[in-house]
Structure 1
Amino acid sequence: MKLVTINRAGEYHLGVKLPAFVVDIVEALKVFPEEDMPTDIMTVIGHADRYSPMLERYIKRVTECAEGVNTFLLDEAQVTFGPCVTHPGKIICVGLNYRKHAEETNAPIPHYPILFNKFSNTLAGHQAEIPLPSRVSNQVDYEAELVIVIGKQAKYVAKEQALDHVFGYCNVNDLSARDLQMRTHQWLLGKSCDKFSPLGPYLVTADEVGDPNQLDIKCTVNGEIRQHSHTSDMVFYCDEIVSYISQHMTLSPGDIILTGTPEGVVLGKPVDQRVYLKDGDVVTIEIEKLGALTNRMVDERV
């Protein structure tokens, strides 16, 4: 199942992406009421065993009965997207987790996952404009990444059981202001500017994705391919990452883990060839089975 967040004038509605259209669950319930049906994505993530089957049955029912009803069946072009995970309790990131990316930045292959965090101010949706913080940075870089979305509480989980605690996966652009990131040994400042973690467009359930370390991953800027790799190049695979983090902190439903980026970022190029993102640039992150996340960069308006 592919879940989406529909932004209706600032109010987030749960949506389900089908081949021909997107179903707005909040609007569908006005036509076809059903008791206890979830209307936001965090409820589904937190109680997947209960709500996922219920949602699938409801979608089947309303689409079969919806002839002539267009209030809740939306063409995707009509949808204003919110971040596909709206209120993550934790945003945990893994640095230097692709071998070729570590090599291009002249960094050693890590012996343990390098962890840092971002905050909820960085969240944005598919097609949202991303403000470039030009007052403080002129080196904003793109990073195509796979996101793990936790669905069940995980503490001291073995690698073999780790993916049983995953609800699903999505795309993220882990935008990074390199001049701020490299100012100190702590990367947080360069990673946490507003809207620096657009997520989406879909949150795809784990059963539909299969092995998360067998996915093609790509980033294009203005249609030019900048990154093109495969999640099998990760230093630490998704099951290792979930298990490792759970040894040190409890992972809760709705927490998200950004699993690192492959080679091809601006920072990995020779200094005289580095052209960072600028006003008007359109960046698309596309991961196999997860759709394509597109955002336009704009100069910050303050």
Structure 2
Amino acid sequence: MADTFVDPTTTSEQSPWSILNKLPTKRIDAAITRASQAGVPQQAGQTGGYAPRYLHLSHIPLFPLYSAGQHELLAKEQKRKESIIKNMDAADPDKNLTGGQKAFLGVLGHVTGGGSIVSAKRWERRLEGASVWTSNNLMQQNKLVVFTRWAVPSPPGHQGTVPWFVDVVEHRFLDTAGGDHSSTFKKMGGNVVMLKVGIGGGIAHAKKVTLRLLKTEAKGLKTQKTWTKRINFQPCEAITFVGDSEILAMEIVARVQRACSSVEAMEVQKRFDKEWMVPLVQ
């Protein structure tokens, strides 16, 4: 039965430790240990800014991707994780066993299929360890928050037209398999898009507007109200203003982005929805 639990090895490698190290459960324990020992990751830097054509508007503030609340949430999550670890270690059945005893009990339990009180307790610890791993994963910098400001370009001969803005926050999932925070996000991870319209004068004088994006139409948008599309599999790279008698492609005025954790991304979404006001240019 042992060959169903371990990878094939040569006769010279059949020591208790070499067998135990190849058990899937050993890798589970290693992942829990790594998560237990990890601290709060360093927050990633922000990139981007105003597009060259719109530098004359750079005095208008962009939505801040950082906040003091993020530090508090990360600290709270780390404290919660440490509390789980403390309880988990207090009931650790391996605490007073020697290395040889651990190897013997582990091999015996898997080869015989009989298990033991120690192996049962160890599985209880692994179940708690799953919460440790989950908590640690929530703090990893494996998401990408992108803030983009859009505007309808001024028609030819009307360069003095007052612009009005559409602010968009995206929460993308990064592909970090290579260990870096590239801009490629996992296709199955999806994407969350949150949009707010700041209806001012000119072409957006109406109380409501309709925008076309992500292969759908966001109809009847009111000023400063959030429109959200979740589980979208493409980034928002184009928005079109749909008027009564005209359809106009909007341009990117500014874009900033940063890698972040799930904890920070959720804080960004909440703040954008509840607190952020799209600037209105008079």
TM-score, structure 2 as length reference? 0.24
More helix by share: 2
More strand by share: 1
TM-score, structure 1 as length reference? 0.23
Q: Which has the greater radius of gyration?
A: 2
